Amino acid sequence: MLPVWTILGLLALLLSFACLAMALWSMHHSMKYMQSCVFRATFAYLVSRIVHAVAWSVVSIIFIDQFVGGEMSAWLYLDSYHDAGGFRLLRHDEEPNGKEDPPTEVIVMVFFGDAATVSGALWMLVLVLELIKLAKKSLDRGSFQEKWTFKRYTIANVVVVGIYTILSFAIDGPGFWTGRYVAVLITANVLQALVIATVTAGVYYLRSHSRKFESVDGQVIQSPLYLRLKRILTVYITTSLPYLIVGWFMLASDAPGDFMPRWLMGSSIVLFNVSGCVFALVLVGSQECFNTCLGPSDETRLTITQASQNMDAPMEHPVFVNTDIESSSLLWGQLGQTMHDAQELHDNLLRSLLVKHNGYEITTCGDAFQLAFHCIPDAVAYCLDVQLELMNQPWPVEFVDSGLPGSLTVSIRTKHVPLTKPKHQYLFHGIRVRMGIHAASEAEGQLFHQVHPVTHRTTYVGLSELIGREVSDVGHGGQIVVTAPIAKWLETEASKNSRWAQNHPFAVQDMGVYRITDLKIDLGIAEVVPAALRDRSAHFGSIANVQSRMSYEPSESMRYGLVRSPREVAIFV
């Protein structure tokens, strides 16, 4: 008979071999220039897969030869059941009933193929873990440390493969195939299941922490690391997961042929064999070409289109958010490289959350960001999220322990805390960022916008933009200062107990009237902090040029936006 499933599996292996060989050839020319652990782990994974493809191609050819060479085989049952199930079914053959042991070349090739499968699963786990680390935080260990990290991974890989080898020959069974099948299935399948779980957790983390998009040169794009992890997960689910599920069922059952369709057994092997080709395209091949070949669904295109539209610069009545780091000049002068690492965390956080809240990056000047939002809810939610997430960043130890102004950690202890929560929470931790929010209005005159000839970003010129910058200079690090229209909107949302107010608990307190001498404007301002950080207010000092509403006397200057803000602290949870 003609072993159809074995032939299809062999063709898939040959295709994978060709793709893997081209990928390795492409990477080989860059080996002396690329020292990163991710690059080397990718290369090692592809080497493992090409060894697997070669070994099992040889075994498949011998397998086919037994089928077409005659009606009987000295060591193999020639039927459609064993054709579809491949060598996984040989475990279920009891004492061979006159069948001989497999030829030596088959035993050797099966061993190398299975060892390569285990090694490849380990290298994929390393690759996924390193990609997740890169996505969570820019990682630069240096050339020497990258080589040493890869060397440690290599040693661990060799140890695990060695243990697998010992177990595969030590497990008792009626013959060679039973012990090897149990060993390779349990070892490789557990490792590949661990890879799937890890990459799923990584994709979920990036999505839930707004790392799905990145802001690069002012343009919002999907994170390349997120896309790579997502593609790895997609390939594993479509090519390896069916093989794992079928394998576990065949391991647990004494007679898998009684309930397992032959087409399911055969197709799972073909999919697994072709996974080497797909991984070569995903990990090394042109990502742009790969995207074109995949062809995103209409739903994906719609999502990307909507995201792009939301990231456009607001043209009418933008809401300006200006940020600045407290004591940044002192910190840079004293901490140097440590401050560089801390500001990198700061910049990545502000840009990642900007995508989540549909914001637009106008420009940056040193550590100061000038942003624009389409509406007040997005702008305020963005600032609240930034202040909360700053507490959770992995700030350099040297920065936290420096004791310099703008870097001191302040914690608040509570007497009654559930066991599931920490016994103290931070009021301040890491970089302290002051933020100002101001919504443009027609009363302030025309707001002009133009495209910068160098950055190609939309910039704004007008009184509203000037007021937005002035407001950001008023507060202290960790404080959000808003103009009176924003405070009025917050008060309205709190009084209605709207869904937005429930999702973004906050504390707001009237600060009085701020006099902008240069612009001859009296500005009503208020302070906003996340409800979880409401005790921060006690740490903020007084602000110059601010009068309480009780003592305020209108001058000949313009009195802009003096609408009522809360006179007392109101907590909206």
Q: Which of 356, 350, 345 is nearest to 368 (CA)?
A: 350
- Bridge pairing between strands 480-483 and 433-439: parallel
CA 275 to the chain's CA centroid: 23
Domains of the chain, residue spans? 4-294, 312-572
CA 464 to the chain's CA centroid: 36
Q: Are 244 and 192 in contact (CB under 8 A)?
A: yes
Reported in sequence order, the residue ranges of 153-251 that DSSP labels E, i.e. its strands, are: 213-216, 219-222
Number of CB atoms found within 10 A of residue 224's CB: 14
Question: What is the pLDDT at residue 422?
Answer: 45
141-181 pLDDT tens trace: 667 788 889 999 999 999 988 887 787 666 655 555 555 56
| Distance from C-alpha of 341 to C-alpha of 431, rounded to nearest angstrom | 11
CATH 1.20.120.1200 for domain 4-294, yes or no, is no
**Residues 194, 223, 41, CA angle at the centre, nearest 5°?**
45
State the greatest distance between any 2 C-alpha atoms of the chain, in Å, as a whole number.
110
Question: What is the pLDDT at residue 53?
Answer: 96
SS3 322: strand
Q: How far is CA 306 from CA 300, 352, 358, in A?
A: 10, 17, 11
- Bridge pairing between strands 506-516 and 570-572: antiparallel
Q: Sign of dihedral through CA atoms 391, 392, 395, 400?
A: positive
What CATH number was assigned to the domain covering residues 312-572?
3.30.70.1230
Question: What is the pLDDT at residue 110?
Answer: 83
Number of CB atoms found within 10 A of residue 237's CB: 13
Count of residues making up the chain: 573
Q: Are 25 and 107 in contact (CB under 8 A)?
A: no
Q: Are 41 and 130 in contact (CB under 8 A)?
A: yes
Question: What is the pLDDT at residue 554?
Answer: 64
Question: What is the pLDDT at residue 433?
Answer: 94
Q: Are 389 and 349 in contact (CB under 8 A)?
A: yes
Q: Which of 514, 448, 458 is nearest to 482 (CA)?
A: 514
Question: What is the pLDDT at residue 424?
Answer: 43
Q: Residue 300 burial by CB count (10 A; 0-12/13-18/19+): exposed, middle or buried? A: exposed
Q: Which of 572, 384, 380, 381 is nearest to 495 (CA)?
A: 572
| Distance from C-alpha of 572 to C-alpha of 491, rounded to nearest angstrom | 9
| Distance from C-alpha of 51 to C-alpha of 57, rounded to nearest angstrom | 10
Ordered mean pLDDT values, 10 residues apiece, the chain (573 residues): 89 95 86 77 94 94 84 76 66 54 82 88 90 69 80 94 77 55 71 86 76 56 76 89 83 71 88 93 67 45 41 85 92 88 89 87 88 94 94 87 84 50 68 93 85 82 89 89 92 91 91 81 89 87 73 57 40 38
Q: How far is CA 353 from CA 124, 220, 349, 363, in A?
A: 30, 11, 6, 16
Query: Could you identify the residue written with the tokens 């299941």?
Result: 193
Q: Residue 252 burial by CB count (10 A; 0-12/13-18/19+): exposed, middle or buried? A: exposed
Structure token pair of residue 320: 């300006």
| Distance from C-alpha of 21 to C-alpha of 235, rounded to nearest angstrom | 19
Q: Are 525 and 545 in contact (CB under 8 A)?
A: no
- Find the radius of gyration of the CA atoms of the chain: 31
Structure token pair of residue 417: 């805390």
Question: What is the pLDDT at residue 185?
Answer: 67
